[in-house]
Amino acid sequence: MSTESKTTKSLLLLSVVFTTLAAGFLASPSSQPAKQNISLVDTNFLDKSTWRRSYADLVKAKEDLSDFDCYACHEKNKPPPLRYDAEQHLIVPKEHPDIVMHHGSHERNNNCYNCHNESNLELFQTRDKHELKLADSAPLCGSCHGPTYRDWEAGIHGRTSGYWDRSLGAMDRKLCVNCHNPHSPKFPGRKPAPGPHPLREVETARGTPGRSGSDLHAAVNDPLASSPQSLRPGVPRAEAH
Amino acid sequence: MSAPNPNSPCSGSTNMDRRSFLRTSAVLTTGLAALAASLKPLMEMEDFPTAERFMQKYYKEMTPADMDKVLARITNEVEKQYGLRPHVRDYKPMDGVEFVYCLNLTRCIGCRKCVHACVAENNQSRNPEIQYIRVLKMPHGSLDIEKAEHNYDPAQVPEKGFFYMPVQCQQCKNPPCVKVCPVHATWQESDGITVIDYDWCIGCRYCEAACPYWARRFNFTKPEIPKERLNPEMSYLGNRPRRQGVMEKCHFCIQRTRQGKYPACLEVCPAGARKFGNILDPNSEVSQILRTKRVFIQLKEEIGTSPRFFYYFDV
């Protein structure tokens, strides 16, 4: 009889264990962590095109080039006069509203004819009076920016796309003006793409020492979270600009 | 075993009365029901390996015919799951090629476009989010990763006084992750890319712990990719969809670079900060950068991993 009662006892004990486990599993709706609401990234951030189109691109795409017909407004053989304000800043005529002259520090490059050819506005000219076509702007930039031009020719500076292996396909090297506005060449700022979402949101504030066990997964996918300098969204930023 | 069990209900009525039989049966039934209920998490498992996948050979031992069968299986699995017939290939390393990545820290503006181009190209899970590239923001004049921030979200980048450092798999020459793998599911190929066989990985995450660059990601849950965002150009060791419970990481876009193309993160970079190529070709961009640029660093070079990923500065 003692064997039978032992068996019954152990079976009962096991039943209690299994029932507890089952209750535990049923209480939590899924063994998978709750899904966060992460929206898909805006496809604009996946766009591979350059932010400017060069004159060469427009010619290639056979687009409207009437904007580049200088002598629709200007008179031939009569260089347009340059006007300066009291502080010797170039006054850009209101007929060219898209031009903001900001090439070179300290406003030193404030003469249109440093690059444009005054006797033929449909051409460029370098400082040593070499004439260049509008589509051939890179050597014009290179006439001042020598080291950068050398790097660009080697593919070190600037954007490339296509094939690294030239035997399998062509490498497309973008022009200076695909990224830099020649009148204001500093690279413009832009909105960054969304930052990372940790697997589970971590509620950490600056100086909070403890981390609960439920944050373990987040810590794995987010090693910098434990660093006190790491700033979470919504936490006031000390070095804000 | 030869003697009849005295507790068994069919052993006769000598040792068991009606009451104890009923009690034992009731307890047994309750126990079995409870056992079944406690196995609920198993019922949620959808991804039971098929016999084909279970019997699959080790990658390096597969013949081309074996690989064709495996690729056909993957094609069917992806089509069944996403309703889209992918183009899955197994690209082998090219002869005389060793890949190197160079990243110009002076040019990087921290826009994170590379992060999302990588996710789109390599079919990473969108929810939960898995990203191979993490962009660190650091104050000028320092290179202290402990002080780096990666959750920055200003109206505009770059911010004055800061620089940005994207970190991804460094494709080490001496990779600690490969050494710790207990099943040889990750290894270094002849072109320098450290790859993972997702069908061989057991998900122990030793490699994740071993990596000093935090480059490896684990699929804690079933990856979720919207059908319209799935990239159908796939490779076996690269961007084919992963399962729950396997590791993944940057593989220099195997499906692109082994066909001679640039990786996706390079193509999308608006600042031209990323440069990629064959270090064995003296005329490649990366060879010229390492030859002519004045300063370049390998991240944590003092630990001897010898990364194939170089950060440099220029004027």
Which residue do the tokens 């490339």 mark?
A160
- pLDDT-derived band at A209 (thresholds 50, 70, 90) equals very low
Q: Averaged over A161-189, what is the pLDDT?
A: 92
- The span from the CA of B216 to the CA of B195, in Å, is 11
Position B267 pLDDT exceeds 90:
yes
Backbone angles phi and psi of A238, in degrees to 5: -75, -45
| Tokens read off for A18 | 């299994």
Q: Averaged over B13-30, what is the pLDDT?
A: 80
Q: Are B240 and B132 spatial neighbours (Cβ–Cβ below 8 Å)?
A: no
Residue (of B109, B103, B112, B117) closest to B157 by Cα position: B109
Q: Cβ contacts of residue A190 below 8 Å, gap of 6+?
A: B109, B111, B156, B157, B270
Position A240 pLDDT exceeds 60:
no
Mutate which: A31, A145, A156, A161, vs B, most B CBs within 10 A? A156
Chain A CB within 8 Å of residue B260 CB: yes
Top pLDDT among B189 and A231 is at B189
Position A200 pLDDT exceeds 70:
no
Angle between helices B285-292 and A146-154 (to 10 degrees): 140
Q: Out of 3.30.70.20, 3.40.50.1370, 3.90.25.10, 2.40.110.10, which CATH number does the structure's domain B99-313 have? A: 3.30.70.20
- A38 CB neighbours in chain B (<8 A) are 126-129
- The span from the CA of B48 to the CA of B36, in Å, is 19
Break chain A down into helix, strand, coil percent, rounded to 5: 35, 10, 60
Q: Averaged over B147-164, what is the pLDDT?
A: 92
pLDDT for position B120:
95
- The span from the CA of A171 to the CA of B272, in Å, is 14
- pLDDT-derived band at B121 (thresholds 50, 70, 90) equals very high
- The span from the CA of A104 to the CA of A127, in Å, is 15
pLDDT for position A203:
43
pLDDT for position A135:
87
Q: Averaged over B36-41, what is the pLDDT?
A: 77
Q: Averaged over B23-40, what is the pLDDT?
A: 82
- pLDDT-derived band at B75 (thresholds 50, 70, 90) equals very high
* Percent of chain A at pLDDT exceeding 90: 27
Question: Which residues make beta-bridge pairs with B217?
Answer: B248
In chain A, where are the structural domains located? 52-179, 194-233
Which residue do the tokens 């690729």 mark?
B71
pLDDT-wise least confident of B14-23, B156-165, B171-180, B182-191: B14-23
Question: pLDDT averaged over chain A?
Answer: 79
- pLDDT-derived band at B143 (thresholds 50, 70, 90) equals confident
> DSSP character for A194?
P
Beta strand B309-313 with B274-278: parallel, antiparallel or unpaired? unpaired
- pLDDT-derived band at A31 (thresholds 50, 70, 90) equals low
pLDDT tens sequence across A85-137: 888 888 888 888 888 888 887 777 888 898 999 888 989 998 888 899 988 89
Angle at alpha carbon of residue B250, lines to A224 and B64, rounded to 5°: 150
B293·A156 Cβ contact <8 A: yes
Backbone angles phi and psi of A44, in degrees to 5: -60, -30
- B7 CB neighbours in chain A (<8 A) are 3-4, 7
Residue B271 to chain A, least CA–CA distance (Å)? 7
Residue (of B66, B124, B121, B119) closest to B90 by Cα position: B66
- B214 CB neighbours in chain A (<8 A) are 223
Mutate which: B44, B97, B113, B205, vs A, most A CBs within 10 A? B113
Q: Are B180 and B188 spatial neighbours (Cβ–Cβ below 8 Å)?
A: no
DSSP string computed for chain B: --SPPTT-GGG-SSS--HHHHHHHHHHHHHHHHHHHHHTHHHHT---PPPHHHHTPPPGGG--HHHHHHHHHHHHHHHHHHHSS--EEE-PPPPTT--EEEEEETTT-----HHHHHHHHHHT--TTTT--S-EEEEEETT---GGG-BS----SSBSPTTEEEEEE-----SS-HHHHH-TT--EEE-TTS-EEE-TTT-----HHHHH-TT---EE--S-----GGG---EEETTTTSPPPTT-EE---TTHHHHTTTBPPHHHHH-TT--EEEEETTSTTSHHHHHHHH-SEEE-TTGGGS---SEEEEE--
Angle between helices B18-38 and A2-27 (to 10 degrees): 30
Q: Cβ contacts of residue A181 below 8 Å, gap of 6+?
A: A52, A188
Residue (of B68, B91, B64, B118) closest to B189 by Cα position: B91
User: Within the 159-178 window of chain A, which residues sit less than 8 Å (CB to CB) from chain B?
Assistant: 159-165, 167-169, 174
Residue (of A133, A154, A137) closest to A53 by Cα position: A137
pLDDT for position A201:
56
pLDDT tens sequence across A7-24: 888 888 888 888 888 888
pLDDT-wise least confident of A51-60, A76-85, A158-167, B27-36: B27-36
- The span from the CA of B270 to the CA of B290, in Å, is 22
Q: Averaged over A136-152, what is the pLDDT?
A: 92
Residue B78's alpha-carbon distances to B46, B83, B85, B229, in angstroms, are 14, 7, 7, 13
Q: Averaged over A129-151, what is the pLDDT?
A: 91
Chain A CB within 8 Å of residue B151 CB: yes
User: Within the 104-163 window of chain A, which residues sit less than 8 Å (CB to CB) from chain B?
Assistant: 147, 151, 154-163
Q: Averaged over B167-181, what is the pLDDT?
A: 96
Top pLDDT among A239 and A149 is at A149
Q: Is the peptide bond before B128 cis (omega within 30 degrees of 0)?
A: yes
- pLDDT-derived band at A150 (thresholds 50, 70, 90) equals very high
Q: Which residue from A161, A197, A229 is facing B146, i.e. has the nearest CB? A: A229
Q: Are B100 and A29 spatial neighbours (Cβ–Cβ below 8 Å)?
A: no
In chain B, where are the structural domains located? 51-89, 99-313
Q: In one letter, which amino acid is A215?
A: D
Question: Which residues make beta-bridge pairs with B100?
Answer: B277
Q: How crowded is the C-beta side of A24, counted as CA atoms within 13 Å? A: 11
- A30 CB neighbours in chain B (<8 A) are 44
